Structures are given as structure tokens and as C-alpha cells.
Amino acid sequence: MKLQLLAVLALATYLNWNELHTVREINAAVVNVSGRQRMLSQRTAMLALRMVCTTDREEQEKLRSCLLADLDLMERSHNGLLNGDAEAKLPGHPSKVVKAMYFELPINLDQRVRQYIKEARALALSRADELAHDNLHLRYILTAASKELLESLDAVVSQYQKESEAEQLAIEINQAELYQQSCAATAQAIAQAKQLEQALEELRQAQTQLIQTEKMSALGQLVAGVAHEINNPVSFIHGNLSHASNYVKDLLELVQLYQQELSNPTPYLKDRSEDIDLDFLEEDLPKVMSSMKMGADRICQIVRSLRNFSRTDEEVMQEVDIHEGIDGTLLILQNRLRASGNYSGIQVIKKYADLPQVECYPGLMNQVFMNLLGNAIDALEMGTAQDSPEGRVDDRQCPRPTISIRTEVSRPNVVSVRIADNGLGMTEDVKARLFQPFFTTKPVGKGTGLGLSISYSIVVNKHNGSLACVSELGQGTEFCIEIPIRHAQELSATKLGEQGSRGELSPVQPLFQSLIGI
């Protein structure tokens, strides 16, 4: 009977956990969408001002299109918050307090949002000759976006957050009470209750870790599979090339012997020799075989690098050669480094110290190297484009784009990897926001703003290390990675436990603040 009672209480706890999870999802969606409304109000104001200020007709039409798209999204989000949107997980039916903020003075947010959208659409649909700084629609947009509408949106977002925290707290208190009842139900079932609790906790941690590694794991498996499929036929070709070279050599020697023995070949043989240019064939065929061997060696090297880069053993720390991971990443990025046409390419200078084997998660560290080297290449390409419209770098006027990689044992039990470029550098404001999720200085479509944030989490949270940036405008940029050579067993277990509860990216609160603070 006591076991049955415990099972009922455990089921209630499980159902309550599902309810909490659902409430969290809904509350997160409501808070995120309300915060997005704030971001969209600022973005549409910026697009409207740029559309009025630009004299480029083509750019003006692009801005007009972006403005209309953002206004449609703003209107859909506004209606979803009030009436519900299943796709966006918005329940609608706001509380009395929020409803009053939407439809009653002094805030009256519904009217302000709809009036703002109306004015912005009117500006977007205005003729080119009507787009001026004194345009009434523009003046309304800038005033509302900087004061009245912004303050109203901030007030509603704050209220949504308060209600979300209160609702989640009530459910969590209820869950704690059910858990206490299940523990007190019977002394005989304490062991089973603890096992169930541990299983649920492990499941939650496994789900969190799965979300963190899903994309990179899928990519790693894809690359590993492709490398494996390429490796078999390439190995077959590579293994037979030496035999084929010997056969070709023997056949050419035999042809030469035939030429010596047949001092008076028939006219047909003479004509055939001239048709195939036998002398050139004897000279060029060994070169062809040698080129094929070089190509096969190169493919084998690339396949080895791909298989090393796509290691899927990041769940277990291993002792690896850091230089091998860096070189493999450089090989994968080789097509972006080499010169082509008028582009001089990027010079890579490696200053490797004699490092010991480093205990780390190889796949995750390769991801960090890929992010940092990819960003360095992007920065150098942007600098090259600004220095020369044709994409050509004149060594007499500016230095060749260069990436420097230096490794060393910086202090006892700590290895450092420094990746520096001689690009344009960055301002103090950019450096201050560098590791924030979704922050990027790249054009739309060029980056998501997650690479450095994820790299920071991997180095700091996963490896108990540090990732720092040193940069000055016009002086290039240097990233310094420092990780322990050996990890204490207890420290590694502690970090993994903390990471399971935190997630791979920065905590949710700073992420939300960065979203609504745009």
C-alpha cells in the first residue's frame, strides 16, 4: 500500500515537472517575444532614418523592404501576445494587469504600437521625394521609439518577467511539497524514491548536454562519414599507384628495347608512333604518374585531417597534441588562405613550442580553433576589401595579410595558444561585447554572433581555462587561449556537473538582457 502511494506521489511529481517545463517554455516565449518587440521598435526606427538619409535609390529600396518586413513581424508578434499564436507558443489571454497596460491609460500600449506601425508603414510607402528629415511620419517614429513607446514596452516586458517568475515559483513550491510528501510516505521506499530522483536528474542533464552538442555532433559524424567513404577508394588508388608506376616503367623500357631490336619498323608502326608522339609520351608519362601520386598523397592528408577534426569523443578528456588540431583546422581552411587571381592570400606564421600532450576535449578544442581562425580570416578579408576595391594588396602600401599562431607553456600546468592577425582591429566598445551571444560586426548573412560565445564557454566552462582578446583599432587582434595541461579529477567532475545545469552558452539572464537591450 505504501509503495502504491509512493508511486502515485512520484507520478504527481513527474506530471508537475512536465507542467513546470511547459510553463517555462510558454513564459520564455512570452518574455522573448515582448523583448523582441522592443528590439524591433529600435530597429525599425533605425531603418526609417537610414532610408530617409540615403541618396542611393537601390539601397533605399532595400531598406524599405526590410522596414516593411520588420513591421509585419512586429504586428504579428503584437497580435500573438494578445490573442495567442500556437506556432510561437504564445498563449494569449494576458493577465488583468498586463491587459490594463495594453488597453488603458497611462500606458495604453496597444494603441501606441498600432499607431507606431501605421506611421512607419506610411513612411515606408511614401514616394522618394517625400522622404526628408522633416517628414511627419519620421518625426513621430523617432520620438516614439526613443521615449513613449520604448518606456511602455519596457514596462510591459518587466511585468511579463514578474508574472513569469511568480508563476514558476508557485509551481516549484508545489513541486517541492509533493516531493516531501513522497519522501515521507514510507521509510521502506526511500531507496526507490532516491533512485527515481537520480534517474530523472540524469535524464535532465543528458537532455541539456544533447542540446549543447547536437549541431557539432551531427556535423562531426557527417564529416567523419564522408572522410571514411573517401578513404577507402583513395587508399586503393594510393596503394596501387606505386605498382602502376613500376608497370609503366617496365613497359617503357620494353618499348625502348623493341625500338632497338626493330631498327627498320614498318611504315604503319612509324605512322602510329608519330600519331601518339611516342617520344613525348615516354617523357611525360612518368611525370603524370608522379603527379597522380602527389595528388593521392594530398587527398590522404586531407582525409586524415578531416577525421582528426571531426572527433566525436569530446565527452571524454584525452591527452592529445594541440598542434595536430591546429594544423588540421588550417588544412580545412586552406582554400580561404591560398592566393588566387589578384588576391595575394593570407600568410600563416607558426611559432610552435615543444608542448607536452594536453588533456582536453579534442573535438571541442578543434571547434574553438575553427571559430578563432575563421574570424581572423574574415577580419583580414574585410581589411583587404577596404584597402583595395579590386581585392588586391599592394605590398608597398600595406603589409600582406598575416595570421600568427604561437604556442607555449605560459606557466606551470598551463599551455597557451595565441592567434593574432594584422587586420583592422576593433574598438573598445566592440571588445566589451565580444563574447556576448548574438553580437556580431559582420554583415547580415555572414555570421550569427555565436562563435565567440560558444568558444568562450568551451574554454572557460569545459576546460577551466581562459579566453582573452587584445586589440586596438588599426593594430590587429590577438586571442589568447589558456587551458590546464592536466585536470584534477574532482575539478573536472565539478565543472561537468555545473555545465550540465548551466548549458553550453552563457546563462539565460545575460542572454535575455542582451536580446532586449539591442
pLDDT at 465: 92
Alpha-carbon torsion (398, 400, 405, 408), positive or negative: negative
- Asked whether residue 493 carries a pLDDT value surpassing 50, the answer given is no
Residue 159 and residue 97 in contact, taking contact as beta carbons nearer than 8 Å: yes
Average pLDDT value for residue range 317-335: 87
Torsion angle, alpha carbons of 53, 59, 63, 69, to 10: 170
Type of residue found at 135: N
Cell of 170: 508557485
At 41-86, the pLDDT tens digits run 888 888 888 888 888 888 888 988 998 998 888 888 888 888 888 8
C-alpha cell at 331: 588544412
Nearest one of 303, 319, 313, 318 to 224, comparing CA atoms:
303
What are the grid coordinates assigned to 355, written together? 608542448
237 versus 6: which is more confidently predicted?
A: 237
pLDDT exceeds cutoff 70 at 131 = yes
pLDDT at 509 over 60: no
Q: How far apart are CA 497 and CA 360, in angstroms?
A: 16
The confidence score (pLDDT) of residue 415 equals 94
Please check whether residue 37 is in contact with residue 77, taking contact to mean a CB–CB distance below 8 angstroms.
Answer: yes
Q: List C-alpha distances in Å: 199 to 41, 216, 504.
A: 45, 26, 22
- Cell numbers at residue 432, please? 566589451
Return d(Cα 407, Cα 481) in angstroms, integer. 9
Q: What pLDDT is recorded for position 517?
A: 33
Least confident of 153-157, 178-182, 507-511: 507-511
- Backbone dihedral angles phi then psi of residue 444, each to the nearest 5 degrees: -60, 130
Lookup: cell for 460 = 572557460
Cα angle at 485 between 479 and 490, to 5 degrees? 115
Average of per-residue pLDDT values in the chain = 77
Q: Is the alpha carbon torsion for 294, 300, 306, 309 positive or negative?
A: negative
| Residue 233: cis peptide before it, omega within 30 degrees of 0 | no
Can you give the pTM of this predicted structure?
0.41
State yes or no: pLDDT of 507 exceeds 50: no
* Under 8 Å between Cβ of 455 and 375: no
pLDDT at 222: 66
Task: Kindly report the backbone phi and psi dihedral angles of residue 205, in degrees, each rounded to the nearest multiple of 5, phi listed first.
Answer: -65, -40
Residue appearing with cell numbers 589578384: 342
Give the model confidence (pLDDT) of 365-421 as tens digits. 888 898 899 888 888 887 766 655 444 444 445 678 999 999 999 999 999 999 999
Mean pLDDT in residue range 290-313 = 69
In this model, does residue 512 exceed pLDDT 60?
Answer: no
